[in-house]
Amino acid sequence: MQSPETRKSQLRPTPENVSIKPQRMGFTFNNKVPRYWLGGNRLMSHTMNAMSLLFPQGETFFVDAVRHFRASVQDPVLQKEISGFIGQEAMHSLEHVAMNQHVHDQGMPTEEIEAHLKILLDAVRVLPKRHHLAITCALEHLTAMLADLLLARDDIREDMHETMRPLWVWHAVEETEHKGVAFNVYKAVDGSNYIERTGWLVMSTAMLAVFTTYGTLRMMARDGRPSLTDTVQGLWRMWGINGAFSSLTGEWLRYFKPGFHPWDHDNSELIDQFKRAVQDSIAPEFRDGNRRKATIKTTTAH
């Protein structure tokens, strides 16, 4: 067991130019959104649709994991950041519920996929609570990687249709803002087991890949017979040389570095770069603050 002083010394503060504040956006989706909104490609669009289906339940899991250990956190700055983290994740859930409803309205089997996700998460919840937090750290690393990819690469953003781009840019900015919070909580409660931390990254990556693939295939099947050319092009753009996902290998491996911390890679300048665009995307009713209050539900399973 580490002493409280040692654990505190392992915490890495969020950069001073980063503020973790929740913001309701009020995104809406209608028939102006193309069915294949990512590069006009069926496979890539359904892959991102499948990822969106993960967020409402997945981010509830993250909040539960962090909130469970909140009383053990003594650092007042981290306590404030936990509040920001919980609020941001609540807003992400709300906005992706709106997107997921849009995907459902296109005839996709979203309710079945989400029901199967619940079965998976309920099985994971039987694990000890600190493992929930280790899984959250691992998945937050993956979402931070994807966020950095989206913000850093113009080609990825420009592939997104203008009706979908604001949602994903906003989400990427906030994932970057709070990328160190769950990890700092983990360290604050003696999360010093290297095998536990890195092992859950391997397992979480595998579970994410399998479930996203499952959701993608379900939607592809519902959508009708895909074009072989479209599928090959989508696979290449995601997994080929400099592909969206294949280019993240080095960043994924950084998690195995002893002493790793999410803010070792300080990309806070990207937040400043896109903050104005995010502000411009807020629906009028939310521009003077989140007047419509929203909460994220915690699970009752313990």
What is the gyration radius of the CA atoms in the chain, in angstroms? 19
pLDDT computed for residue 160 by the predictor = 97
Identify the pLDDT of residue 170: 98
In this prediction, what percent of the chain has a pLDDT beyond 90? 87
- Asked if residue 28 has pLDDT above 50, the reply is yes
With a cut of 60, say whether residue 292 has pLDDT above it. Answer: no
Average pLDDT of 146-163?
97
Band of residue 67 on the pLDDT scale cut at 50, 70, 90: very high
pLDDT at 224: 86
Q: According to the model, what pLDDT value does residue 194 have?
A: 95
Q: DSSP letter string over 91-152? A: HHHHHHHHHHHHHHHTT--HHHHHHHHHHHHHHHTTS-HHHHHHHHHHHHHHHHHHHHHHHH
13-22, 59-68, 144-153, 195-204: least confident range: 13-22
* Contact assessment for residue 219 and residue 109, using Cβ atoms and an 8 Å cutoff: yes
Average pLDDT score over residue span 176-202: 95
179 closest CA partner among 125, 251, 120: 251
pLDDT of residue 13: 84
Give me 131's structure tokens: 């493992």
User: If pLDDT is split at 50, 70 and 90, which confidence band does 186 have?
Assistant: very high
- Inter-CA distances, 96 with 10, 85, 102, Å: 34, 16, 10
Instruction: Give the per-residue pLDDT at 99.
Output: 97
Residues 73-100: what's their mean pLDDT? 96
Give the mean pLDDT of 225-237: 92
By the 8 A CB rule, do 185 and 69 touch? yes
Q: What are phi and psi of 160, to 5 degrees?
A: -80, 135
Band of the pLDDT at 289, cuts 50, 70, 90?
low
Length reported for the chain:
302
pLDDT the model gives residue 19:
94
pLDDT of 159 above 70: yes
CB 84 within 8 A of CB 21: yes
pLDDT at position 10: 61
Separation CA 216–CA 180 (nearest Å): 29
Residue 260 has pLDDT above 60, yes or no: yes
Angle CA(88)–CA(93)–CA(97) in degrees, nearest 5?
150
pLDDT in tens, 123-152: 999 999 999 999 999 999 999 999 999 999
Q: How far apart are CA 194 and CA 293, in angstroms?
A: 39
120: Cα separation from own chain's centroid = 17
Averaged pLDDT score across all residues of the chain: 92
φ and ψ of 220, to 5 deg: -60, -40
Average pLDDT over residues 43-71: 97
Q: Does position 290 have pLDDT exceeding 90, yes or no?
A: no
160 forms beta bridges with: 38
Q: Are 5 and 188 in contact (CB under 8 A)?
A: no
- Residue 191 — φ and ψ, nearest 5°? -80, 70
Residue 297 pLDDT exceeds 50 = no
pLDDT of residue 190: 83
Q: Which band of pLDDT confidence, cut at 50, 70 and 90, is reported for residue 295?
A: very low
